[in-house]
Structure 1
């Protein structure tokens, strides 16, 4: 197994701006390669070529609409576009010589190419978002240059280590053109509110008439727990207290309908109260000091593809996901003891008479089960994205885990890597597929929505899913939702056909999660990468041997025969200014159909 090379080296403290620009150029290459060049067959890995002074393999992307080419050094070929880069990006236009390309060159070229491809105007908003993402990353790295591995730092408690994993996602989503764009926040606000700046926040409270409040809970205890987040405040008779993110409170008070309610006295601003919460990777979700609960708040600002407020149908969908899973939890726990779903416990939102939906959604708040129970069981939770979707710091952490695992088991590093991944894949894949094919339940197990639970030896013993607002139900589960008397918008959002349910799991689990895990663990070692794909092939075959469901057989045998996975078009979605629900999914080919069995069962 490779010790991290140039693609895995930690950031020199003196070069945050250059790193941020280089990283975002690579993110654009990631997106364009997967969403456009692979689809149009304009991508190749060359054995030896420019850029100047580089003698290894080079990824070349042709942009014929622009009469231009991009080149960047890579460690290996990747069918899924999970490349490990070794150089800056180089550009050639027409007959001109190759030249070093800055992020603005790369972004402008790609956006203009997409404009010609779709016959639409140049998207200046996307260019601005990319610049915002770079500025955010630069500011974080300039103020927090130490992004060394978790295990290489001063000793932490298990809770501190978990919070650290939530707050250390420096580079962000590896297949998004602007993962750190937060243009609605000033630099000063970012430093106060962002998890990357290690922020902790006290909640801001508004009092509203009780008749305006709408909410629900999976049980009475959950409803009471949500009310206890009132910061020690007691509402006036006939009123209720609603917690808000402090930035959101300011945004809401600037809206005319809210300002009028405050002036009339129908609504009261109670200010900031109570204990501080720790920010997590999603930015708007906060962890209570005792780790017993998360609170997911609304933010009327765009983060990646979405304005992050909590629509009522999403809040109801989250609780529906919990209610459906609770009915399955005991048999699931018996079959898959390492699989956990964090309960969505209760929600509240406010419906002001005459206000539009954006205002109502801006109040939405959701209470979620925390990680205290996992910590009590001596399980160390770590956000998967902190290990596998976070560039160099993540790879360093993943390497440290594999090294520790190897020492405990007396294995060589490559053998340990295959064994570790076999355990991770089995823990993640089997229960997720079982929920889909046996029960019609599709959660969203992508990098930021999942935690890996580690034991004392660094082994992955748990796979934890959170954030159920985008739960989807295949036809076999529609009757369960229809029996719950849900609002029409909630029912319409939850229920989908088999293809959409498969796309949810195919993308979130396989493309966004497992592809990144394999790339991070292999870290440029192409032979090891293929070996890990072989482990995944065995994991899927083992699932079919245990659960020979015809629907599962059709999907899994298709993958093993080389059918593509669905890859989400984040670049195209941002370029077309589409909502996330309108995102396109593109075919992504993978090695499952050509790799040999890794004999995962005999690794240990």
Structure 2
């Protein structure tokens, strides 16, 4: 495969980018065991400083045209330590503070997916250069945003960044003590992928912020520590329960079968599970203490089978992978307090009911695409709140909320090995080494060079992910959230992508076209209202989650600092989008895709700014993100 840029585009690139001496992912022996033991860095501060720079570059510097990537020879007033550097330099101006940041990067990245190769250097108002650690970078970013927005310095964000760095360092240090497993089953390999996200979201200012957990609780409950835990059970009056299920079956019966807790509910009562930390939190709440004192709620202790926490921390996978259980945690993890609000539970089930109507069609058109259904939910309502819309104890009631989700046992039984996408892409060196091993295996099996195998591997992944998700949006009006943590790739025995799964449906939205799929019996009017969105909002959701948060990270991981390969993968993506249009020439699809191929930007979510402004996640702004699709040549499909 050969992809090239028009002459005008070449002229706009730094003059010596092709002189970079960084190899493609080179041939190496296949990895064995859990790649969580691969060292990505011993210094969380370095990693976190780069994450903060990622956020600031995309959301602020790019938008204000204060960013450039240049050769050393073309960069003015370099830090002394970079004067003999042979790579490219990311140069960010901060005019509000009369400051400047320079750092070495492996190649140009229009989308801001930089590979950093040096320490970060900050030039202050006196034109003096110094190495800037994460705390300095965090401080200058918050100060700059404070001046821009006319607001006080955000101490809360500074504290959350500090917590995130400390947690990340704790996780990295603990990796040396984790025992390397031997041969893994599909299930243990999948759980390892969920528990291998050591650095978190590469474009989030606080990727490992977990307010409220002690170090002992981190060790006990964090997926990165390989946690496995029993749930804690409570007996409550049956008339306090609010629940629904796809098949009409009692949710409590579903839960008893899944958890094997062995507890018998007395007549008129229901046994429900909580995360053990959540149970301790509940027992500290006055309303729960009163209910226990009155005998209304009974603490039954920990029982039943063990569950492994997935990347989201609060979602558990069963020992046999037959189901997931999404529990509530009344603590802030990255953005939000992670309890399950009642309207979110209803929306998740509504989304599953909507999808069921077209599931046979999707299985016929895209047999390797799967949506993990939200099969049932359960929550609690105190008697005094039944007729009270204000819900005096909403936080506590929602803290009991849970969702029962379809598991992965069936595809595993068919020989498919699932991996959460975030473990392979955007997960630092651990993800890159594991992906390289998969591609090396695939290439060897099919008699391909490593580079040929890599291109074919990416094409298969892109088609598996893009075709069904675009079809759902443009033909049916359904917009899921297929970002890295919500996407699972199924791997065949030869290491190739063979299936694609989307999970976590609570924020599914329907565009005007999709509203025809709603039925009155699906949910209450509020849940139906919440699931609506405009065509523009639906496209923004898919373009960001799938193309920016997912595909951009895949390309950056596979290119591994090689710029010519980076452009070839973008050319392959261009051809994949053209192929979709050839098969499904919907007018709206043509408008959106041809826009991208003509250079229209993608939308990127303002994760840094939403945290700085202390706003709800649903109010996040989206900014234009430019990309190479408009300047790379189309290619023939990889043979």
TM-score (normalizing by structure 2): 0.90
1:199 and 1:413 map into 2 onto residues whose CA distance is 36
1:373 and 1:454 map into 2 onto residues whose CA distance is 14
2:626 and 2:117 map into 1 onto residues whose CA distance is 24
Q: CA deviation at 1:71?
A: 1.0
1:179-578 to 2 correspondences below 5 Å: 179-220=207-248, 223=251, 224-228=253-257, 229=259, 231-352=261-382, 353-354=384-385, 355-484=392-521, 486-578=523-615
- State the partner residue of 1:103: 134
2:115 and 2:409 map into 1 onto residues whose CA distance is 36
Q: CA deviation at 1:271?
A: 1.4
- State the partner residue of 1:133: 164
Question: Does structure 1 residue 119 correspond to structure 2 residue 150?
Answer: yes
- State the partner residue of 1:23: 47
Shift in alpha-carbon separation, 1:33–1:14, aligned structure 2, 3 A: closer
- State the partner residue of 1:45: 69
User: Deviations 1:482-504 (Å, cap 9, x if unpaired)?
Assistant: 53352233122211111111111
User: Deviations 1:447-472 (Å, cap 9, x if unpaired)?
Assistant: 00011101011110101111111111
Shift in alpha-carbon separation, 1:342–1:542, aligned structure 2, 3 A: same
Contact 2:235/2:297, CA 8 A, preserved across alignment: yes
Query: Which of 166, 186, 192 is the matching residue for 1:164?
Result: 192
Question: Does structure 1 residue 178 correspond to structure 2 residue 187?
Answer: no
Q: CA deviation at 1:532?
A: 0.6
Question: Does structure 1 residue 36 correspond to structure 2 residue 60?
Answer: yes
1:240 and 1:222 map into 2 onto residues whose CA distance is 10
Q: CA deviation at 1:533?
A: 0.7
Contact 1:13/1:146, CA 8 A, preserved across alignment: no
1:143 and 1:548 map into 2 onto residues whose CA distance is 51
SS class of match (1:327): helix
Shift in alpha-carbon separation, 1:15–1:486, aligned structure 2, 3 A: closer
Shift in alpha-carbon separation, 1:194–1:409, aligned structure 2, 3 A: same
Contact 1:405/1:458, CA 8 A, preserved across alignment: yes
1:579 and 1:256 map into 2 onto residues whose CA distance is 27
SS class of match (2:330): coil
1:211 and 1:195 map into 2 onto residues whose CA distance is 35
Shift in alpha-carbon separation, 1:378–1:44, aligned structure 2, 3 A: same
Structure 1: runs of 5+ lacking an equivalent:
none
Q: CA deviation at 1:481?
A: 2.3
1:28 and 1:14 map into 2 onto residues whose CA distance is 21
1:11 and 1:43 map into 2 onto residues whose CA distance is 34
- State the partner residue of 2:12: none
TM-score (normalizing by structure 1): 0.95
SS class of match (1:85): coil
1:362 and 1:4 map into 2 onto residues whose CA distance is 48
Q: CA deviation at 1:250?
A: 1.1
Q: How many residues align?
A: 594
Q: CA deviation at 1:96?
A: 3.0
Q: CA deviation at 1:222?
A: 7.5
Q: CA deviation at 1:255?
A: 1.6
Shift in alpha-carbon separation, 1:85–1:14, aligned structure 2, 3 A: closer
- State the partner residue of 2:25: 3
Shift in alpha-carbon separation, 1:516–1:14, aligned structure 2, 3 A: closer
After superposing the two structures, state which structure 1 stretch, 204-213 or 349-358, moved more.
Answer: 349-358
Shift in alpha-carbon separation, 1:257–1:155, aligned structure 2, 3 A: same
Shift in alpha-carbon separation, 1:392–1:58, aligned structure 2, 3 A: same
- State the partner residue of 1:59: 90
Question: Does structure 1 residue 592 correspond to structure 2 residue 629?
Answer: yes
Shift in alpha-carbon separation, 1:172–1:147, aligned structure 2, 3 A: farther
User: Deviations 1:301-357 (Å, cap 9, x if unpaired)?
Assistant: 111111111111111111111111111111111111110111111110001134432
1:444 and 1:402 map into 2 onto residues whose CA distance is 27
SS class of match (1:307): strand
- State the partner residue of 2:16: none
1:488 and 1:208 map into 2 onto residues whose CA distance is 28
Q: CA deviation at 1:272?
A: 1.1
1:205 and 1:189 map into 2 onto residues whose CA distance is 19
Q: CA deviation at 1:147?
A: 9.2
After superposing the two structures, state which structure 1 stretch, 402-411 or 352-361, moved more.
Answer: 352-361
Contact 1:402/1:417, CA 8 A, preserved across alignment: yes
1:302 and 1:183 map into 2 onto residues whose CA distance is 5
2:498 and 2:442 map into 1 onto residues whose CA distance is 12
After superposing the two structures, state which structure 1 stretch, 398-407 or 108-117, moved more.
Answer: 398-407
Structure 2: runs of 5+ lacking an equivalent:
1-22, 28-34, 386-391
Contact 2:474/2:589, CA 8 A, preserved across alignment: yes
- State the partner residue of 2:20: none
Q: CA deviation at 1:2?
A: 1.1
